[in-house]
Structure 1
Amino acid sequence: MSRITESDEGKSVVRGDTTVGIVATVEHGTAYVEPDPGLTDKVMSQLGWKDIDEETFPLQEQEIVDVTDDEIKLQTSP
């Protein structure tokens, strides 16, 4: 798997067929995702993003399946 770098900022983050957000920033190899405004509470909870007041959420490395030129793909099941 590719390590997350600053070049991944701005990429879409997808889970299955759903875009869950966009990489807002990368700090020390961790991508922080700004959730898609239409993301439901259920999907956010499945992703472990419980504090809805936060603006960005960190991606856990074990959730990432693939990093392409355009997007970061997550596991489809929690």
Structure 2
Amino acid sequence: MTVTFTEDDEGKIVVDAGETTLGRVSEVGTETVSVDPDPGLADSLLSDLGWGSTTDEDYTVHQDAVDTKTDEKIYLQGHL
């Protein structure tokens, strides 16, 4: 099932399937969301995500990478 993003998703926490907090949604597009990475996220985890090193940049998450979403969180597929 493909998740549909809405304006209500802005500000939600983005986590992996193991509940590791990856960041917070800063902007919502039609098929993507921009995620402001959690400042405490280790560079190795950012690298696993393909997000590079810790910067002030937001990163794009495509809807096909999302497993599910709730009122408070967006869950990505798999553990990182």
State TM-score, norm by structure 1.
Answer: 0.85
Q: Indicate the SS of the match to 2:39.
A: coil
Partner of 2:69: 67
Deviation beyond 6 Å, 4+ runs, structure 1: none
> Where does 1:12-27 land on structure 2 (aligned, <5 Å)?
12-15=13-16, 16-27=18-29
Q: How far apart are residue 54 of structure 1 and its match?
A: 5.0
Q: How far apart are residue 76 of structure 1 and its match?
A: 2.1
Give me the identity figure in percent: 41
Q: Indicate the SS of the match to 1:69.
A: coil
Deviations 1:34-70 (A, max 9, x none): 0000001111111111264452000022211001111
Q: Can you give the 5+ residue segments of structure 1 that lack an aligned partner in the other structure?
A: none
Deviations 1:17-42 (A, max 9, x none): 21100000112331000000000111
Cα RMSD of the aligned pairs, angstroms, is 1.7
Q: Can you give the 5+ residue segments of structure 2 that lack an aligned partner in the other structure?
A: none
Greater shift in the superposed pair: 50-59 or 32-41: 50-59
> Where does 1:21-40 land on structure 2 (aligned, <5 Å)?
21-40=23-42
Residue 2 of structure 1 aligns with an amino acid whose one-letter code is V
Residue 72 of structure 2 aligns with an amino acid whose one-letter code is D
Q: Does 1:8 align with 2:9?
A: yes
